[in-house]
A and B are shown apart, each in its own frame.
Chain A
């Protein structure tokens, strides 16, 4: 039983969001409502291939509003991709962005927006509350279930010179509208389903144990953990089954709302560092680090981890903290394994000698601030080493 400090202020920021199968079909209403002159659709080649960009195009076309497509985006969006997109946006005279896809197009869209309104380089916004002016109207249409970027105040951009992912955290980054249609996730293969699903699970975990968590974020986080535990593996196995897709999408939304307001922790700090250096898939990195992070954090937020364990359907009745910890770590590994994520960091190309650099970057990541346990660089190095 936890008692919240009644004197600490609480805030919960979220965009207007439309959730449910077929939500994507009302994108035209929003476009019309904004009454803009020209729309830039930000997406990536994978989403275009899956056909979701075309669906959005069709509805925008129906409004008669001119639009262009910007899809020159890779995974872990790069700073130059953002600047290039901003140049196109200005040159084309656009005044609204519709992001369609996973975390990469959505973070890139957020970056393009603020670069255009502030006339600054994307890297200048690094950190918390460093965006003077919000970007233009932004509608996010996620096609993966996990990123949470569609509702979050985060944008993670790859600094291609320093080879590090920078976090831009600002209320100005919260999109105006999120159109969350589970159907769009039916085109994901099991691997992407698993990786993004595990990302969502880590969002929920970290938000729940975050030192900035609040009752509202807690509800969302725990519910997300429950949904993911029960639906991730079936979603991977039954690609087209909307029941699982819908629940995974909801879990992603709830986890997104939770971490956007409670922030994250050491797993994300370390995953950002990995993604920056080796351009690895963010979800997979998270999945491979989570168990070790729980091991490191557990006793600083033991009660919370117990609640998470319960949410993961672990019967903690009569268990001491140690046993709960072991059971939770075991459950995490089991879930990961069943979802098909069986690699280790070393099999992804991470070597021992990379660890000091990775740890250093992770230590400076803003996500570290809300981790329940302070970690020194050597602490972080230890966790990386275990995950190899």
Chain B
């Protein structure tokens, strides 16, 4: 062994290092680094496993949500507008089979004419400007459209921009909302019409009493032999005006559905046919009228005159919509079963068989902005003086009074369809023979009751002028008293309906307890409680609507006395 040539510590250390004995004179050992790498890989492996497990769980959760969502879910590529992913609900919503391997894009699922706006909204979602778009038309596989509310969220996946879109089919909800809106409109309309009717009825009642007085006194004056020359002519003019006023009030009462008309079982087929012949005679020959009558069940509880009025008014309006020039009016009489579904959109009807009277024209049609108002009284598009604006409101009242329903559909320039539904009745039609009445005078004794003293006096004078003996009073109990005090003397009772204390009906039934054969005539402005059943049960043989002429009164009395 050779010793270091120099004993210095520095040299010694250097020598040891050269010999490989220094602290750092070792070949590098990679094991610790390798072990670190292995450990970190192991850790990474464990973490990866955990991450995979979590990711698998997330994926299952996502898949369950995705597959079971009722809404349609899609993943749309912002750039290409392709749908890279869509769930089963989306496919079934659009009518595609879930088996098919589809390639869909925005261009496939929206109608072409709406694409520009849809893509505009798509871009707004992509830019985060908006999150939801409503009522977007979506094209199904068969080309039909549904309407969806779409909620969109922009998302970046693997460096690409996407939108997650959630489609909710709002087509049914939209339809329901429209129907509900229409229903509410109709209901509102009905309520308005009822309010107008009530008002008109109330006015008519008082107005009729006033007219009765004017007419009565005027007739009395005319019948006075000493009244001659210009005064007589004036009185005759007053009477003519009264008649017109009475007709107007009568129409107002129709609007209120509270007319006095008796509804009888009526076969509509002949009624319609008669009405059509009448209409054909009055309209220009250039207007073609077609009739389609196909109703096995044509019996309804109706007033023939009013049914005629419905047809005449509708056809007249139709002819006017053609400026009385050329055109075609079709009148149909059909049967239709109204079910619950139909009732939901046509309030006022009841389930069962109905006749449908349909009047269709190819005239000018009705503008959508006024169609809701056409049944309102005094609403008219005709020039001043050419129409009262009561025609359709009268029809409306009549139809309501017949427990029916009327609706209209119209397209400007193409024409209008009016549909009148009336419930079919099981009662057999009765053919009422009516004898022709003549002006009458007699010598019977009549008890006349009216709470309006003036009317009692006027009518008493009229009756006396006809030769009758008249006993008068102004309330029910007094009338009963008079009747009791004159047994066998009184041949007929004429009573007002609405009186304080005792109504005309009540009075009649009381009197008929004393004398069951005594004929009773009921006079009324209008009375909503009056039905044929009620008046017949009380023993009233006829109702006379105020105001009436002396002729009408005389004829009514004669019919009573001949019972």
A and B from one complex: yes
Residues from chain B with Cβ under 8 Å of A174 in the complex: 27
Among B15, B22, B27, the residue within 8 A (CB) of A211 is B15
Give the interface segment out of B4-12, B88-96, B125-133, B341-349: B4-12
* Shortest Cβ gap from B3 to chain A (Å): 6
Q: Which residues of B contact A2 (CB under 8 A)?
A: 1
| Docked complex: B17-58 residues within 8 A CB-CB of A | 17-28
- Across the interface, do B18 and A5 meet the contact criterion of CB distance under 8 Å? no
- Judge if B281 is at the interface, Cβ distance under 8 Å: no
Q: Which of B4, B5, B26 has the most CB of A within 10 A?
A: B5
In the assembled complex, A226 has its CB within 8 A of some CB on chain B: no
Name A300-334 residues within 8 Å CB distance of B. 300-301, 304
Complex contact B2–A213 (CB within 8 A): yes
A11: interface (CB < 8 Å): yes
Q: Which of B212-252 contact A (CB under 8 A)?
A: none
Residues of A within 8 A of B21 (CB): 9, 11
* Bound CA span A210–B23, Å: 21
- Contact between chains at A261 and B19 (CB < 8 Å): yes
With contacts A13-B27, A172-B28 taken as known, whether A212 is within 8 angstroms of B5 at the C-beta atoms is no
Minimum Cβ distance to chain B for residue A384 (Å): 19
Interface status of B14 (Cβ within 8 A of chain A): yes
- Interface code A192-210, partner B: CB below 8 Å = 1, 0 otherwise? 0000000000000000011
Q: Count chain A CB atoms within 10 A of each CB in B4, B19, B26 and give the residue with the most.
A: B19
* Cα–Cα, bound, A328→B19 (Å): 28
Least CB separation from A213: chain B residue: B2
Q: Name which residue of chain A comes closest to B24, CB basis.
A: A129
Q: Does A124 have its Cβ within 8 Å of any Cβ on chain B?
A: no
Decide: A370 near B26, CB < 8 A? Known: A3-B1, A300-B5, A301-B2.
no
A36 within 8 A of B: no
- Give bound CA distance, A304 to B1, whole Å: 10
Known: A129-B25, A172-B27, A174-B27. A371 touches B18 (CB 8 A): no
User: Does A128 touch B at the CB level, under 8 Å?
Assistant: yes
Q: Could you say which of B1, B5, B26 contacts A5, with CB atoms under 8 Å apart?
A: B1
Choice from A3, A171, A209, A210 contacting B27 with Cβ under 8 Å: A171
Main secondary structure on chain B at its contact with chain A? Answer: loop
Q: How far is the CA of A129 from the CA of B24 in the complex (A)?
A: 6
Task: Find out whether the CB atom of B5 lies under 8 angstroms from the CB atom of A373.
Answer: yes
A353 within 8 A of B: no
Q: Give the interface size class of chain B.
A: 20 to 34
Interface residues on chain A, size class:
35 or more
Within 8 Å by CB of A371, from B5, B19, B28, lies: B5
Shortest Cβ distance from B494 into chain A, in angstroms?
126
Contact with B along A1-22 (1 / 0, CB 8 A): 0111100111101000000000
Judge whether A369 and B27 touch: CB under 8 Å.
no
Which interface residue of A3, A174, A263 has the most chain B CB atoms within 10 A?
A: A263
Within 8 A of B (CB), among A115-143: 128-129, 133-134
Report A-chain residues with C-beta under 8 Å of the C-beta of B2.
Answer: 209-211, 213, 300-301, 304, 372
Residues of B within 8 A of A209 (CB): 2
Chain B residues, CB < 8 A from A10: 19
By beta carbon, the residue of chain A nearest B26 is A171
A279 at the interface (CB under 8 A from B): no
Given A13-B20, A373-B5: A212 in contact with B15 (beta carbons within 8 A) = yes
Cβ B18 vs Cβ A366 within 8 A? yes
Minimum CB–CB distance from A305 to chain B (whole Å) comes to 12
A57 at the interface (CB under 8 A from B): no
In chain A, what residue has the closest Cβ to B20?
A11
Closest residue of A by beta carbon distance from B27: A171
- Docked-complex contact B5 and A366, CB < 8 angstroms: no
A2 and B17 alpha carbons, distance in the complex (Å): 23
Interface pair A128/B1, CB less than 8 Å apart: no
**Of all chain B residues, which has the CB nearest A171?**
B27
- Which among B14, B15, B19 is the interface contact of A11 at CB below 8 angstroms? B19
Give every chain B residue within 8 A of A9 (Cβ-Cβ).
21
Given the known A-B contacts A13-B20, A128-B22, A171-B25, are A370 and B15 also in contact in the complex, defined by CB atoms under 8 Å?
Answer: yes
**Other than the known A11-B25, A301-B2, what 5 A-B pairs have Cβ atoms closer than 8 Å?**
A8-B1, A11-B21, A169-B18, A214-B19, A366-B14
A-B contact pairs, 8 of them (CB 8 A): A8-B1, A10-B19, A11-B21, A129-B22, A171-B26, A211-B5, A366-B14, A374-B5
Interface residues of A (CB under 8 A from B): 2-5, 8-11, 13, 128-129, 133-134, 169, 171-172, 174, 209-214, 261-263, 300-301, 304, 366, 369-374
